[in-house]
Amino acid sequence: MKKFYPKSGRVILHVDMNSFFASVEIADDPSLKGKPLAIAGDAKQRKGIVVTCSYEARKYGVKTTMQVWEAKKLCPKLIVKQPDHERYRLVSRAIFDLLRKYSDLVEPVSIDEGYVDITDCQELGSPVQIAEMIQKDLLNTLDLPCSIGIAPNKFLAKMASDMKKPLGITILRKRDIPAVLWPLPVIEMHGIGEKTAEKLGAIEVKTIRDLARANDWQLQSAIGIRGLRLKERANGIDSRKVDPEAAAVNKSVGSSITLPRDISNQSELLSVLEKLSANVTARLKRKQYVTKNVSVMIKYKNRETITRSRMLDNPIVEPHEIFKAAKTLFIKNWNGHPVRLLGITGQDLLKADHAFEQLNLFSYEKEAKKEPLYDAINRMKKKYGSSILRTGSEGSHPENKKES
């Protein structure tokens, strides 16, 4: 088997479950097999947003983020079910337990995808044979289809797994990059979204080949230091290891403050929570993480301390989102006594570029409408400084006017 493995370097698989939420529902109810199925935020409302759908539904043009009424117009026989997040989490754990049968080097990156380093698994067979075993094992054990990319690094493995769905196995070597990757539009590259693609298009970087050959200074001017990392990826360079402990590193990001005096006024305490939320957001963004679990710590005048947490349906990172979750926890658990210390922590962190938002009517539509506002605010802050805009609560406290 040695001939199938490099003398130096790694062999990495990217295992990506196909239409995960829909596939879990079909595995649970075999009568849904072969039928057009959509998982939506609220199956009873025509306004619900499609989170994911089966491949039978996709044949009719049904897509993620499409409203249910649109999807049903395209596919009148579409079956719509609400998501069952707890079931999906349990199935996800079973998937990664299965992958660990093949290698100790398994790194989950989201609920339905992860990397497996099989460099030292030669006794199991060739890389393709191992991928086939994993694929069959997931089908036979959990009745779930997946696509698998085989490559010498994480980036290429991720790109490969996207090339054939469902139930695909694709090998992508560095020597394949000019013929296979470079002709693709830059937006099809992992790690590049619509906004980044627009910025790259403004400097005439339209294909992955353009990115691989782009001028470093122009890239940094367009999208910052991240542009150089993307250029490396476009050239097939990615030194990241498959790290089973990656999920355990940076388990949480928090911010707390001992108040200058014991406070029992709810409005003042909420104002402090709002500032802490902004601090947590800044730290999460600096580390490029999002959080799926927000906790609040309250220490009273008598030094009694309580900590309460809340698991979220969707990963969040923006200050208003963290404040909303923290405020709910605080109001529910504060006993009205004077508070000496407050803290907020984001837990169950996910890398921002791997976070999969389980979209629904309330999160997707609301955030989509706010996007132009966020862009405008960010442009103003870049041009005039971060103190140009403040929230209403910041403006109501004189001491806050000293901060920028």
Binding residues for Mg(2+): 16, 112
- From residue 24, alpha-carbon distances to 51, 66, 98, 167 in Å are 13, 20, 16, 15
Which among 98, 105, 145, 143 is positioned nearest to 13, based on CA atoms?
Answer: 105
* Tokens describing residue 181: 């990757």
Calculate ∠ Cα 108-294-363, nearest 5°: 80
- State the chain's maximal CA–CA distance in angstroms: 71
Residue 7 is classified by DSSP as S
Which of 113, 268, 371, 394 is an active site residue? 113
Give 33-37's long-range contacts (Cβ < 8 A, gap of 24+): 35/77, 35/79, 36/60, 36/62, 36/75, 36/77, 36/78, 36/79, 37/78, 37/79, 37/80, 37/81
End-to-end CA distance of the chain: 61
The yes-or-no answer on residue 188 being catalytic is: no
Give 225-234's long-range contacts (Cβ < 8 A, gap of 24+): 230/189, 230/191, 230/192, 233/155, 233/189, 233/190, 233/191, 234/181, 234/182, 234/189, 234/208, 234/209
Phi-psi region of 137 (alpha: psi -120 to 50; beta: other; left: phi over 0): alpha
- Residue 43 carries which side chain, given as an amino acid letter? A
Q: Which residues are annotated as a binding site?
A: 16, 112
Which among 256, 395, 283, 273 is positioned nearest to 323, based on CA atoms?
Answer: 273
DSSP string, 63-124: -TT-BHHHHHHH-TT-EEE---HHHHHHHHHHHHHHHTTT-S-EEEEETTEEEEE-TT-GGG
Q: What share of the chain is helix, strand, coil (3-state, %, to 5)?
A: 45, 20, 35
Residues 159, 160, 161, 165, CA torsion sign? positive
Count of all residues that appear for the chain in the document: 404
Pairing of strands 169-171, 146-151: parallel
* Residues labelled as active-site residues: 113
